[in-house]
Amino acid sequence: MLVAVIGGNLQGVEATYLSHKAGWEVMVIDKNPAVPASGLCDSFVQLDVTSEIDLRQSVRGVDIVIPALENDDALAILGRFTKTKDIPYVFDSRAYSISASKAKSNRLFAQLGVPAPKSWPNCGFPVMAKPNKGSGSAGVRILNDLEELRCHFPMSMPSDDWVLQEFLAGSSFSQEVIGFSGQYQALPVTDLAMDAIYDCKRVLAPTELGAKLIAEFGQTSVAIAKALELRGLMDVEVIVNSGEVKVLEVDARLPSQTPTAVYWSTGLNMVQMLGEFFLHGSIKSSSSRKEPQGVVYEHIRVSPNLLEVAGEHIMTGTGPLQIHQDFFGADEAITNYAHGRGEWVATLIISGTDRGDAWAKRCHVIKEIRDRFGLQTYLDPSHD
């Protein structure tokens, strides 16, 4: 089967990686020939997808289209184009339009009675300021008092382009939900570690969240999926604060990072499950493992005398990536490493019989890399 992945940045890397794990051939389309996924795919087409004529020529023979970008114009054009050509389009535009706006999402949470951080000014400081649109940590700020708020927004109080909520301390977790027509499956929970700018630097599985909170998380995630009338996949990120699961945000699209961690831990391939739904109208959820493996999935940046663990933003703008097997002891790495290169990045994927075993292997991998390249300084910054 031939899959067209539209967009070659971090979501495109995820879609390409898991499509290959499903045994599919992958064509990546992006206007930038140096995007990370361009080095992972079977074929690459340099194209601005807002040009429908060129798109028509490029996707001949494609069995399914997976968007891996957040450009509203491009998503609308892809939706119209695939509908006219009767090509399955792995996207739910209605659910996405709500989840892409933090303000709309927060209103939905309030309507459902979903526990979430309080909105400013109905909360005290510190507050977290986030752009209303956009994913990841881009633009996120912590404002500790009214003076910082006025300094950050000197002209007026925050506009509709921003969402301000109480800042909550606690551990972060993620869960995907997949399904359609009111039938939804909450997939395994993963544990998230954030860097100093609130970008996810590490995903761990299986979760260490207790059974009661896992059940509450799943019930909340499914309730949101039903309210969105989801057709496909969405990601829910929460924080556990004072023993309560509170929803931070949802994204009704294929996320990055967590699907690969879930795949290595359980054998569940979310991209394959999505493909089966959009092609055949059903979802197979069979796993290749009876018990989940331990997995550590994290991003590192190497430069002269330094190894730093950092958020996934370090994997962008680095050129095409490649997959290396048994990378200094890691099961796999998605990386731009090359012999003799002084600066490089890698996403390390390390598995073990359980979380403890995977973490021990991970520490050995980090030591191997530091010893090999003489890296005396090691940084693993966090916001705590």
Q: Span 256-280, mean pLDDT?
A: 95
Spatial distance between the Cα atoms of 229 and 105, rounded to a whole number of angstroms:
14
Residue 203 reports pLDDT greater than 70: yes
What integer pLDDT is reported at residue 39 of this predicted model?
A: 98
Location of structure tokens 């493996």? 293
Residue 285 reports pLDDT greater than 90: no
The domain made up of 118-166 has a fold known as Dna Ligase; domain 1 (3.30.1490)
What integer pLDDT is reported at residue 131 of this predicted model?
A: 85
What integer pLDDT is reported at residue 286 of this predicted model?
A: 60
Spatial distance between the Cα atoms of 145 and 280, rounded to a whole number of angstroms:
53
Q: Are 213 and 245 in contact (CB under 8 A)?
A: yes
Q: Span 342-349, mean pLDDT?
A: 97
The domain made up of 169-280 has a fold known as D-amino Acid Aminotransferase; Chain A, domain 1 (3.30.470)
Q: Span 365-379, mean pLDDT?
A: 97
Spatial distance between the Cα atoms of 132 and 106, rounded to a whole number of angstroms:
10
C-alpha distances out from residue 247 to 69, 117, 192, 243, 267, Å: 23, 7, 14, 13, 26
Q: Span 106-120, mean pLDDT?
A: 93
For residue 118, the 8-state DSSP code is P
Residue 261 reports pLDDT greater than 90: yes
Location of structure tokens 């996949």? 233
What integer pLDDT is reported at residue 50 of this predicted model?
A: 80
Separation of CA 166 from chain center: 23
List the chain domain ranges. 2-91, 118-166, 169-280, 294-379
Q: Are 262 and 187 in contact (CB under 8 A)?
A: yes
What integer pLDDT is reported at residue 213 of this predicted model?
A: 97
Which parts of the chain fold into alpha helices (H)? 10-21, 52-58, 72-85, 93-99, 102-112, 146-152, 211-228, 258-266, 270-280, 355-373
- Local structure of 258: helix, strand or coil: helix
Report the mean per-residue pLDDT for the chain.
92
The lowest-confidence range among 132-136, 144-148, 159-163, 186-190 is 132-136
The model's confidence at residue 112, banded by pLDDT at 50, 70 and 90, is: very high
The helix (run of H) or strand (run of E) holding residue 179 is strand 171-180
Tokens of 201: 């630097």
Total Cβ atoms within 10 A of residue 37: 27
Question: In this structure, what are the phi and psi dihedrals at residue 215, rounded to the nearest 5 degrees?
Answer: -65, -45
Give every CB contact of residue 154 below 8 A, 6+ residues apart in sequence: none
Question: In this structure, what are the phi and psi dihedrals at residue 172, rounded to the nearest 5 degrees?
Answer: -105, 145
Residue 289 reports pLDDT greater than 80: no
What integer pLDDT is reported at residue 57 of this predicted model?
A: 80
Q: Span 349-354, mean pLDDT?
A: 98
Angle, helices 270-280 vs 10-21, to 10°: value is 80
Residue 304 reports pLDDT greater than 90: yes
Write out pLDDT tens, residues 4-13.
Answer: 999 999 999 9
Strands 244-251 and 200-205: unpaired
The model's confidence at residue 43, banded by pLDDT at 50, 70 and 90, is: very high
For residue 313, the 8-state DSSP code is G
Q: Span 115-134, mean pLDDT?
A: 87
Nearest to 349 by CA among 368, 364, 331: 331
What integer pLDDT is reported at residue 382 of this predicted model?
A: 85
Spatial distance between the Cα atoms of 187 and 269, rounded to a whole number of angstroms:
11
Give every CB contact of residue 145 below 8 A, 6+ residues apart in sequence: 125, 126
The model's confidence at residue 284, banded by pLDDT at 50, 70 and 90, is: confident
Write out pLDDT tens, residues 248-259.
Answer: 999 999 999 999
Q: Span 197-224, mean pLDDT?
A: 96
Nearest to 3 by CA among 250, 275, 213, 241: 275
What integer pLDDT is reported at residue 282 of this predicted model?
A: 81
- Single-letter amino acid, residue 114: V
What integer pLDDT is reported at residue 184 of this predicted model?
A: 94
Question: In this structure, what are the phi and psi dihedrals at residue 334, rounded to the nearest 5 degrees?
Answer: -105, 110
Separation of CA 139 from chain center: 17
The model's confidence at residue 318, banded by pLDDT at 50, 70 and 90, is: very high
What integer pLDDT is reported at residue 202 of this predicted model?
A: 98
Total Cβ atoms within 10 A of residue 247: 22
Tokens of 197: 């700018």
- Single-letter amino acid, residue 342: G
2-91 to CATH, choices 3.40.50.720, 3.10.20.340, 2.60.120.200, 3.30.70.1230: 3.40.50.720
Higher pLDDT, 57 or 69: 69
Total Cβ atoms within 10 A of residue 107: 13
Q: Are 172 and 194 in contact (CB under 8 A)?
A: yes
Higher pLDDT, 57 or 344: 344
